[in-house]
């Protein structure tokens, strides 16, 4: 996509949240409108690149930890463009289902990941839990624990769409012993800037809503939190061996929880 040649059926005119995120992470799968909007966000929060990297580093530590604990099935919703360090690249011997609702993400993911027998790419919308789980169950065994990843995604779900209700629905559909790996941008950590960032995303494919810690706590209700609980991404079990050198920008709250028996 470096040539900005637009594949059929794809709108390059509207800034796209997946491709803006790819731009923050240094990827090449983005168009001029994505870069322009992403640059506006960068002018408000230059550390957004670091924030994206720190969130992805958390995701990687979380799945490595869960893999060590024996979890061998992963459902990654809003998986994004496979810029670097996707779940199946950092763990081995596990089945991974990537779900996204963006046609560019799906095309790229299928092209890059489709040949691995343990990796499946599915179209799906986080806001339709039953449909997502039903489709994923064609590949994953929902009579055994599954790790559900909802990373850097829920702030693209509006209040009217009831993000807490959506996450609780997944919780109810998951078997006991399953895990939820969650991050969410919190205005508590960027109080004066969240509204300016929301204004840029109003013209993008999804609006952006930062949410306070109290909402994050509600999202994790019904899960037993793994140590260290709800923290900013850099504080969740940092690992000097695998983490990138410390980067400024950490606006996501994160947690890993386990559904009890």
Interface residues with ligand SAM (CB under 6 A) are 17-18, 21, 55-56, 59, 77-80, 100-102, 105, 125-127, 151-153, 156, 206
Angle of the 48-68 helix axis to the 32-44 helix axis, nearest 10: 100
Q: Give min distance, CB of 148 to ligand SAM, in A.
A: 12
- C-beta closer to ligand SAM: residue 84 or 144: 84
- What separation in angstroms does the CA of 94 have from each of 16, 85, 90, 187, 260? 30, 15, 10, 35, 22
CA distance 182 to 33: 29
CA distance 82 to 2: 15
Q: Give min distance, CB of 88 to ligand SAM, in A.
A: 13
CA distance 121 to 227: 31
Q: Give min distance, CB of 18 to ligand SAM, in A.
A: 3
CA distance 28 to 22: 7
- C-beta closer to ligand SAM: residue 203 or 224: 203
Q: Give min distance, CB of 101 to ligand SAM, in A.
A: 4
3-state SS class at 147? strand
Q: Give min distance, CB of 120 to ligand SAM, in A.
A: 15
The residue whose Cβ lies closest to ligand SAM is: 80
């Amino acid at each position: 996509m470096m040539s900005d040649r637009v594949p059929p059926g794809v709108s390059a005119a509207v800034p796209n949240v997946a491709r803006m995120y790819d731009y923050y992470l240094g990827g090449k799968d983005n168009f001029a409108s994505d870069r322009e909007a992403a640059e506006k966000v960068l002018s408000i929060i230059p550390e957004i690149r670091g924030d994206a990297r720190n969130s992805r580093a958390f995701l990687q530590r979380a799945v490595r930890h869960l893999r060590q604990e024996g979890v061998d099935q992963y459902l990654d919703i809003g998986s994004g463009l496979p810029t670097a360090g996707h779940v199946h690249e950092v763990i081995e011997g596990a089945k991974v289902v990537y779900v996204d609702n963006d046609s560019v993400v799906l095309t790229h993911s299928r092209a890059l990941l489709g040949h691995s027998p343990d990796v499946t790419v599915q179209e799906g919308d986080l806001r339709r839990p039953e449909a997502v789980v039903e489709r994923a169950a064609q590949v994953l065994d929902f009579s055994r624990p599954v790790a559900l990843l909802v990373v850097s995604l829920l702030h693209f779900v509006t209040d009217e769409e009831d993000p807490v209700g959506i996450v609780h629905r997944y919780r109810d559909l998951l078997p006991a012993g399953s895990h939820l790996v969650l991050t969410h941008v919190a205005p508590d950590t960027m109080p004066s800037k969240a509204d300016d960032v929301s204004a840029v995303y109003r013209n993008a494919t999804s609006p952006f809503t930062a949410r306070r810690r109290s909402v994050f706590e509600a999202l994790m209700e019904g899960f037993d939190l793994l140590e260290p609980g709800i923290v900013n991404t850099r504080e969740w079990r940092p690992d000097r061996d695998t983490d990138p050198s410390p980067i400024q920008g950490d606006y996501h709250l994160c947690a890993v929880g386990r559904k009890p028996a």
